[in-house]
């Protein structure tokens, strides 16, 4: 069964109602930011390669009212918790990991000379948590826009993205790339975003009602990038750079790759990065020409490469991809995000969506003992567009 998706307006209303209850005053400021899925281009962003993510029509929404000076009180319906943050403790990591994302962004803004006043804040979300759908980047960018609404001081989109990336790296301790925060901020409705991570230029790639549907299936296994495997992959890429005498894996040719053939794991890692960069550019052509079989094959190929060469998949994700690609009407499927759990995305004919979701769900539950979450997602607007319209 496809999970219900509350409307954007109802999320904003819930955030406003929650802050009114917390503070006893009407909400004065609101902000929101979407989650994302990556269509293709995984573990290429920190290798200065290409990625093709899209923002989804699921969001983190925040509302705020004036609060006690020097303090932020946050009520989160996501964690069913209420926490406080002292504004003179911006650089001492908060005891609650999810508060650190908010704290990290406030600290980054502070360094830009934007001082946060005392606030009461409510956070609500329709982004499935722990699914690798960038709920953390959404929380960071929503916080950035909220702060701008409150203070009337604005940073540029590039500075907002930078502030969020820094907050993520410092808060979560994950040396992440720039993909998540960039798409969460800059996405445009009905478009995927081709991002060249070397110079950070972007190009919208239409992915609208002419395209097949996108089904997201949550394995129910939480991804834990901070546990070291992500940083280890980055370190392996650095080692390969050194062996090849290049600064990044971006422009490594097939001939250069062949020079690593006796290097075991490093050869596998670079094989993934080189082939994934090729797949991203082929995927853009496939989308522009409406060749959905081709796009699906590239997605499934990407999954195989992540499973066998980059080794960031897991049994649950592999099972979901195998179940999905055996279904009629499915063009292709792959894990999305950092890996080790989280979600797969399935490119499926729109009129087959419900049936495919039900069958994958049933078979997965039979094998694993729990049902996966199924979500239909559409290419939505980024935080910049959303918050301008609020
Ligand atoms: C996580 C990181 C991104 C990117 C992906 C893998 O989502 O935050 O920067 O590296 O993993 O493609």
Give yes or no for residue 43 CB within 6 A of ligand 1: yes
Which candidate in 45, 57, 120, 180 is catalytic?
A: 180
- Comparing CA positions, the residue from 389, 374, 288, 376 lying closest to residue 52 is 288
Give yes or no for residue 338 CB within 6 A of ligand 1: yes
φ/ψ of residue 339, rounded to 5:
105, -165
Residue 52 gets the label, from left (phi > 0), alpha (psi -120 to 50) or beta, of beta
* Cβ neighbours around 281 below 10 Å, total: 16
DSSP-assigned states of every residue in 47-86 = GT-EEEEEEEEEEEEEEEEE-STTEEEEEETTTTEEEEEE
Tell whether the model's pLDDT for residue 64 goes beyond 60: yes
Share of the chain above pLDDT 70, in %: 98
Confidence of residue 227 (pLDDT cuts 50, 70, 90): low
Q: Cβ distance 341 to 222 under 8 Å?
A: yes
Tell which one of 179, 227, 317 to mutate to probe ligand 1, the residue whose CB is within 8 A of the most ligand atoms. Answer: 179
The whole-number average pLDDT for the span 45-63 is 98
- Return all residues near 389 (Cβ < 8 A) that are at least 6 apart: none
What residue owns the CA closest to ligand 1's atom 5?
338
Task: Pick the range with the lowest mean pLDDT from 204-208, 215-219, 221-225.
Answer: 221-225
Q: Looking at residue 69, what is its pLDDT?
A: 97
Q: Looking at residue 225, what is its pLDDT?
A: 58
Give yes or no for residue 46 CB within 6 A of ligand 1: yes
CA distance 380 to 58: 8
Which atom of ligand 1 approaches the CA of 132 most closely? Answer: 7
Tell whether the model's pLDDT for residue 130 goes beyond 70: yes
In what side-by-side order are the strands of the sheet with 330-336? 330-336, 343-348, 213-218, 373-377
What residue owns the CA closest to ligand 1's atom 2?
176
Tell whether the model's pLDDT for residue 88 goes beyond 90: yes
pLDDT single digits (tens) 210-222: 999 999 999 999 8
Average pLDDT of the chain, as a whole number: 96
The whole-number average pLDDT for the span 80-88 is 93
Give yes or no for residue 140 CB within 6 A of ligand 1: no
Confidence of residue 171 (pLDDT cuts 50, 70, 90): confident
Measured in Å, residue 225 CA sits from the centre of ligand 1 at: 9
* DSSP-assigned beta bridge partners for residue 375: 216
- Return all residues near 326 (Cβ < 8 A) that are at least 6 apart: none
The two structure tokens encoding residue 50: 């290409």
Measured in Å, residue 177 CA sits from the centre of ligand 1 at: 6
Q: Looking at residue 223, what is its pLDDT?
A: 66
Confidence of residue 140 (pLDDT cuts 50, 70, 90): very high
Tell whether the model's pLDDT for residue 365 goes beyond 90: yes
Give yes or no for residue 320 CB within 6 A of ligand 1: no
Q: Which residue has the higher pLDDT, 273 or 98?
A: 273
Tell which one of 305, 338, 341 to mutate to probe ligand 1, the residue whose CB is within 8 A of the most ligand atoms. Answer: 338
Q: Looking at residue 228, what is its pLDDT?
A: 87
The whole-number average pLDDT for the span 146-171 is 96
Q: Looking at residue 133, what is its pLDDT?
A: 96
Measured in Å, residue 343 CA sits from the centre of ligand 1 at: 13
Whether 180 is catalytic is yes
E-strand stretches of the chain = 29-40, 50-66, 71-76, 81-86, 119-125, 191-196, 201-206, 213-218, 330-336, 343-348, 373-377
The whole-number average pLDDT for the span 262-285 is 98
Which atom of ligand 1 approaches the CA of 43 most closely? Answer: 12
CA distance 64 to 116: 12
- Comparing CA positions, the residue from 148, 84, 83 lying closest to residue 115 is 148
Confidence of residue 359 (pLDDT cuts 50, 70, 90): very high
């Amino acid at each position: 069964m496809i999970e219900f998706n509350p409307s954007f307006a109802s999320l904003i209303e819930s955030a406003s109602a929650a802050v009114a209850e917390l503070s006893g005053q009407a909400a004065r400021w609101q902000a929101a930011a979407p989650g994302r899925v990556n269509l293709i281009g995984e573990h290429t962003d920190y290798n200065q390669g290409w990625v093709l993510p899209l923002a989804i029509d699921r969001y983190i929404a925040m509302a705020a009212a004036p609060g006690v000076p020097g303090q932020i009180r946050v009520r989160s319906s996501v964690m069913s918790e209420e926490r406080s943050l002292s504004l003179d403790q911006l650089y001492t990591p908060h005891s609650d990991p999810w508060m650190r994302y908010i704290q990290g962004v406030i600290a980054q803004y502070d360094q830009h000379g934007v001082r946060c006043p005392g606030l009461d804040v409510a956070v609500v979300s329709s982004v499935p948590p722990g699914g690798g759908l960038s709920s953390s980047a959404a929380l960071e960018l929503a916080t950035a826009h909220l702060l701008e609404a409150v203070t009337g001081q604005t940073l540029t989109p590039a500075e907002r993205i930078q502030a969020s990336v820094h907050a993520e790296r410092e808060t979560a301790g994950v040396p992440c790339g720039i993909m998540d925060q960039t798409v969460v901020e800059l996405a445009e409705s009905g478009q995927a975003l081709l991002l060249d991570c070397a110079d950070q230029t972007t190009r919208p790639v239409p992915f609208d009602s002419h395209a097949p549907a996108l089904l997201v299936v949550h394995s129910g296994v939480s991804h834990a990038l901070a546990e070291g495997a992500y940083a280890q992959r980055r370190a392996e890429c650095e080692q390969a750079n050194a062996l090849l005498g290049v600064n990044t894996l971006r422009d490594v040719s097939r001939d250069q790759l062949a020079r690593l053939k006796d290097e075991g794991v490093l050869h596998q890692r670079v094989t993934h990065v080189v082939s994934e960069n090729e797949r991203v550019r082929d995927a853009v052509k496939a989308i522009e020409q409406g060749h959905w079989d081709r796009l699906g094959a590239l997605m499934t190929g990407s999954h195989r490469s992540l499973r066998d060469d980059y080794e960031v998949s897991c049994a649950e994700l592999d099972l979901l991809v195998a179940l999905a690609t055996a279904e009629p009407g499915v063009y292709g499927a792959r894990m999305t995000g950092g890996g080790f759990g989280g979600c797969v995305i399935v490119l499926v004919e729109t009129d087959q969506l419900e049936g495919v979701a039900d069958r994958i769900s049933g078979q997965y539950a039979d094998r694993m003992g729990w049902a996966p979450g199924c979500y239909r997602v559409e290419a939505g607007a980024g935080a910049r567009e959303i918050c301008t319209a609020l």
